[in-house]
Chains A and B, each alone.
Chain A
Amino acid sequence: MMETLFYLAAVVALAATGLALTRANAAHALIYLIVSLLAVAVTFFLMGAPFAAALEIVIYAGAIMVLFVFVIMMLNVGEEGITREREWLSGRNWIVPGLLAALLLLELVIALRHAPTTTAGVDVTPKAVGLTLFGPYVLAVEIASMLLLSGLVGAYHLGRRFIVRRERRGGAS
């Protein structure tokens, strides 16, 4: 039973990834990519890693994809951007990703209804992850913090010049 759910989620993940990377339109591709990440999160959940599944949704499908959305929206501001966004919001483009996401939700509900919610015998609980993370793997936390700091500095450096030039150009005209 749980195995069937796993294979269904795997098919959804592959299909959504394939559709995402073959779209011509970046916004449509992003929607399919989010569905693909949600499908991978469902497979994490079914494999007995609920903490990883939650993080996949919160950070990958939430934070990182929102960054992509911001940049795509920043790249086409102005009149043509408005007409293009009106095209994006037409109904047809939402049907297939919506159906795939609804399928994933259905899978999750079915999995939660069953007593052992995973295909693994036991869950790896968030408590175990936390104890391991701040026990033997505390160096990994330090490495991740340094990495995020360097990413922050790099993004600030690259993005700041973009913002300053824009303001100057706006003031001149």
Chain B
Amino acid sequence: MGGLQIPMEHVLTLAGLLFSCGLLGLMLRRNIIFMLMSLEVMLNAAALAFVAAGAKWGQADGQIIFLLILSVAAAEVAVGLGLVLQIQRRFKTLDMDQARRLRG
């Protein structure tokens, strides 16, 4: 029986606060690089919740899901940064409000 000595609620509160930071950043910033960073923060908060749950019951499953989230983040960033380069080339700006039309 492992079990955290920190109350689980506190860890989940931390994860929730980090997630809300990311969500706020995603909604308020219009620069696409900052939007990608906010997505990273949100994925990271979800991973924190998984690892905390794994540590709570002393099982390795939480870290397995952390690995899965890590590969999701890596793939997402690779494609997202490719998109950043395309948008910069096509619109000469990183402002997402300039690139809201689907066919431009």
Contacts and interface: CB of A to CB of B under 8 A. Distances in A.
Are these two chains actual partners, yes or no?
Answer: yes
A25 to B, nearest CB: 10
Nearest to B5: A119
B92 to A, nearest CB: 11
A47 B47 CA distance: 13
Interface residues of B, number: 60
A86 B79 CA distance: 29
A106 interface: no
Question: Which range holds the interface residue count of chain A?
Answer: 35 or more
Contacts of A7: 10
B58 to A, nearest CB: 6
A34 to B, nearest CB: 11
Given A124-B2, A143-B68, A162-B85, A26 B77 contact: no
A24 B60 CA distance: 40
Interface in B74-104: 74-79, 81-86, 88-89, 94
A121 B1 contact: yes
Contacts of A55: 66-67, 70
B18 A13 contact: yes
Interface string B1-45: 111111000110010011001101100010101101110110010
B85 A52 contact: no
A51 B55 CA distance: 12
8 contacts: A29-B37, A44-B51, A52-B66, A55-B67, A60-B73, A64-B73, A67-B78, A68-B36
